[in-house]
A and B are shown apart, each in its own frame.
Chain A
Amino acid sequence: MKLDVQMRMSLKAEDRLFQFDVAFQSAKNLIVIFGPSGAGKSVTIQAIAGLIKPEQGRIVLDGRTLFDSNAGVNLAARERNVGYVFQDYALFPHLTVAQNLAFPLQRSLRDGDAGSALVQEFLAKFDLADLRASYPRQLSGGQRQRVALARALIRKPDILLLDEPLAALDPVLRGKTRGELLKLQQSFDVPMVVITHDPADVEAFAEDLIVFDNGKVARQISVDATRRASQIREVLALD
C-alpha cells in the first residue's frame, strides 16, 4: 500500500484562519497521525476520504489518484473506496445494527439486504449477532464502535481511516480495543491510518508516525519494532 498525500488549504473558523500545508508519504500498514487538537489531523483524513476538497494538492492511494488539483481530478467520496470510522461513530440512528451494516452494500435507493449472508458473516465476526435488531441508542460505546468498524470494513476498503478511535472509551476498554484493532488490521489486511493525541496509541500502533503541529507535518518517523518504545518516547519528548 502506498499513500501519498500533499495538500494545501485555508479554513476559516469564526475569526481565525487556519492554514494547512501537509505532505507525507507512507508504504506502511499502520500509520499514526499524532498531534494536539486543532493541528489538522481530522482535516487531513477528511480530505483523503473526499469529504473536504483541498485548495491545492495531490492524494494518491496505491497508484489511484483520488485528488489532483493540477489535473482537475477530484473523486467523489463514494468512489474512493475508503473506510472511515468517525470519532462519534456516525451510526444511522434510525436503522438497526444489521441495517447499518447493510447500508453500504446497495448504492441505489433500495435498502441493502439486512438478511444477506455477508451481513450475517460480519455480525458474527464482530460479535454483534445478538444485537442485529438493536438500534444504536441501545448500544454501549464499545458495541457502537464494533458496528462502526464492521460497517466500514464490509465493503473491503483499500484503506481504513480512524478518527480518534479510542477517545470515547474508558481506559480499561481502550487497552483491549487496541489489541482488537491490531488483530483486525492483520485479519482484513487493510492499511490503517489512526488519528490520536494519546501517546499510548502511538506506542501500540505506529509503524509510521506522522507528527502534526499547527497545520503542518512537523516530523515523520519510521518506527522500528525493536526500538519502538524508546523511539516514540524520544519523538514525543521533543514536542
Chain B
Amino acid sequence: MTDALVPLLLTLKIAVTATAIVLFVGVACAYVLNRYSFWGGQIIDAIFTLPMVMPPTVLGYYLLVVFGRRGWLGAWLQENLGIQLIFTWQGAVLASASVAFPLVYRAARAALGGVDHHLENAARVLGAREAKVFFRVSLPLAWRGVFAGTMLAFARAMGEFGATLMIAGSIPGKTQTISIAIYEAVQAGQDNVANFLVLLTSLVCVCILAASGKLLQREF
C-alpha cells in the first residue's frame, strides 16, 4: 500500500509550502491594511476575502486565465523565466495558497486589530521603531489568532480539490493530491484504496488538530 502514501506525501508537501507562503503574505497584508487607511482599502479587503467564498472551480478558472500557458502572467513567466505553473506541483501550491490566503489574512487582521492600542503606543513612546512594535508587541500578543487561522489554512490547503484539478490536473506522483486520489479511486470503484486514503487523511487531520489544540492551551 506504499503507493497510497504517495498522494499523502505530495499533499503534505503542497499544503506545507502553500501554508508557509500564505502565513507570510497574509500577515503582511493584514498589517498593512490595519495600519494604513487609504482609498480602495475596502475593495482590496474584499478581493483578499473573495477566494474564501468563491467556488473553487471558478477560482481555478481565474488562475488558469492568469497563469495558464497563454495567460497574462503565465505566458510571460514561460517566455522570460522558463517557468510553467500548470500541471506542476507548484501550480497546485498556487491553487492551495489562493484558497488558504483569506483564512490567514482575516484571522491576522482580527488578531492584530485586537491588540490593545495602548500597548503599541506605549512601545512607541518607549523608543521602539515600528518593526519592533510589530515583532515584539503586536505579533506576540496576536499569535493565537494568527495560529488558529494558519491551522484552518493548512486544513483547507490539504483538502483543496477543484482549483487544484483545474490548474494542476491529476498526474500521479506530481499533482494528484489526496482529495483527487480519493475521488478517482471512488470513481474507479477501488474501494479499498479509497478507504485506506480516507482513513489515513482523517488520522492526519486529527493529529494536527490535537497538536494545535495543545499548543494553544499553553499560557504564555
- B121 touching A77 by the CB < 8 A rule? yes
- A90 touching B135 by the CB < 8 A rule? no
- A49 touching B125 by the CB < 8 A rule? yes
B140 beta carbon closer than 8 Å to chain A: yes
- B118 touching A90 by the CB < 8 A rule? yes
Neighbouring B residues of A108 by C-beta, 8 Å: 129, 132
CA distance A227 to B47 in the complex (A): 66
- B125 touching A82 by the CB < 8 A rule? yes
Look across to chain A and name the residue whose beta carbon is closest to the beta carbon of B135. Answer: A109
- B125 touching A109 by the CB < 8 A rule? no
CA distance A92 to B116 in the complex (A): 10
- A104 touching B141 by the CB < 8 A rule? no
Main secondary structure of the interface of A (DSSP, over half): loop
Look across to chain A and name the residue whose beta carbon is closest to the beta carbon of B143. Answer: A94
Look across to chain A and name the residue whose beta carbon is closest to the beta carbon of B133. Answer: A78
Q: Which residues of B (77-135) have their CB < 8 Å from a CB of A?
A: 116, 118-119, 121-129, 131-132, 135
Neighbouring B residues of A90 by C-beta, 8 Å: 116, 118-119, 121-122
CA distance A94 to B136 in the complex (A): 10
A88 beta carbon closer than 8 Å to chain B: yes
CA distance A151 to B127 in the complex (A): 11
- B132 touching A107 by the CB < 8 A rule? yes
- B220 touching A78 by the CB < 8 A rule? no
CA distance A111 to B137 in the complex (A): 11
Q: What's the nearest-Cβ distance from chain B to residue A23, in Å?
A: 23
CA distance A94 to B126 in the complex (A): 16
CA distance A77 to B132 in the complex (A): 14
- A104 touching B140 by the CB < 8 A rule? no
- B126 touching A104 by the CB < 8 A rule? yes
Candidate in A78, A88, A104, A152 with the most chain B CB atoms within 10 angstroms: A78
CA distance A29 to B82 in the complex (A): 70
Q: Which of B116, B121, B141 contacts A51 (CB 8 A)?
A: B121
A205 beta carbon closer than 8 Å to chain B: no
- A107 touching B128 by the CB < 8 A rule? yes
- B136 touching A109 by the CB < 8 A rule? yes
Neighbouring A residues of B131 by C-beta, 8 Å: 109
- A51 touching B127 by the CB < 8 A rule? no
Q: What's the nearest-Cβ distance from chain A to residue B120, in Å?
A: 9
Neighbouring A residues of B122 by C-beta, 8 Å: 84, 86, 90, 92
- B116 touching A94 by the CB < 8 A rule? no
CA distance A109 to B132 in the complex (A): 5
- A78 touching B124 by the CB < 8 A rule? yes
- B140 touching A94 by the CB < 8 A rule? yes
CA distance A20 to B131 in the complex (A): 32
CA distance A92 to B123 in the complex (A): 9
Neighbouring B residues of A103 by C-beta, 8 Å: 123, 126, 128, 136
Q: What's the nearest-Cβ distance from chain A to residue B112, in Å?
A: 15
CA distance A85 to B65 in the complex (A): 56
Q: Which of B119, B124, B125 contacts A92 (CB 8 A)?
A: B119
- B119 touching A77 by the CB < 8 A rule? no
Neighbouring B residues of A51 by C-beta, 8 Å: 121, 124-125
Neighbouring B residues of A83 by C-beta, 8 Å: 125
Q: What's the nearest-Cβ distance from chain B to residue A188, in Å?
A: 16
Listed by A's residue number, 20 A-B pairs whose Cβ atoms lie within 8 Å are: A50-B125, A51-B125, A76-B124, A78-B125, A78-B126, A84-B125, A86-B122, A90-B121, A90-B122, A92-B119, A92-B137, A93-B119, A94-B141, A103-B126, A103-B128, A104-B127, A107-B129, A108-B132, A109-B135, A155-B126
